[in-house]
Structure 1
Amino acid sequence: MNTLYQLVKNTALFATAAAGVVGGFKIYQKWGRGEEVIPLILAWLFGLGFVQVIFWAVGYYIVGGAYKGVNPTSGAESVAIEAHNGALVIGVGISIFSVVKIYQKYIGGEDVIDLLYKWLGALIFLFFFGYLIEAIL
């Protein structure tokens, strides 16, 4: 059973890696043509991250048997902490891409002061609620 799981896991990881490389190459081609790529990059990163979460959940909960004998409260707290850390990483990634987008608009001659205020407000919101969640947990 374990060898079958490893075979399926390795095949799925290889397929995911191949799809990630092909998707990244298509994004690179569009970037070279001057097309808008920020939403594509975010979708690409979200997709790769989602696959990673699925692999982790299957390995930890189903194959590892971590769901057995877990107090529901402590299990919920550990999942909440993992979700919080994942949300912070995603938020930082989106903020970096947002800075790139603002910089592109600035280089293009647009007024970006309003966008900078919105970006800063979003960062404050993200980290304030991250701190609040950590304090609660």
Structure 2
Amino acid sequence: MLRPAVDADRDTVLAWRNHPEVRAVSLTTHVIGAAEHAAWWDAAMADPDRHILIYDDRGVVLFDLREDPASWSFYLDVAGLGAQLLPTWMRLEQAAVEHAFGPLGLTRLGGETLADNKQVLALHRRFGFTETRRYERLVDGTPTTVVWTERTN
């Protein structure tokens, strides 16, 4: 189940985001400091076109409606989930898609995934996302292939 994030979630979300396995597949891989995270959190929480949602206290889903199409991303409590990581990940993606096309009322949703992240790309395909383009983006100063996937309702 998805619920709106509250300020008490801020530090937990930062810990999830800074896990080495999450950083390794992110578009920014540095360890995010408390001040940097707090600035991002405060800006996102104050913006009605950005949504931070907590999934069963085991992951976070981010929707950005400032773009066309709206975009989304997510990460999980990798350290805490252990063997439950994959089933939780699948349930999170299902809940995110339902939320996007239900309560948010979106007709299109897209997101960026590193081309090397075959697991996430496969999961997105399973939930109806298709690759629409590939492009290079700097990740830690290195040109890296990014895949944009999109789904329509």
TM-score by length of 1: 0.29
TM-score by length of 2: 0.27
Larger Rg: 1
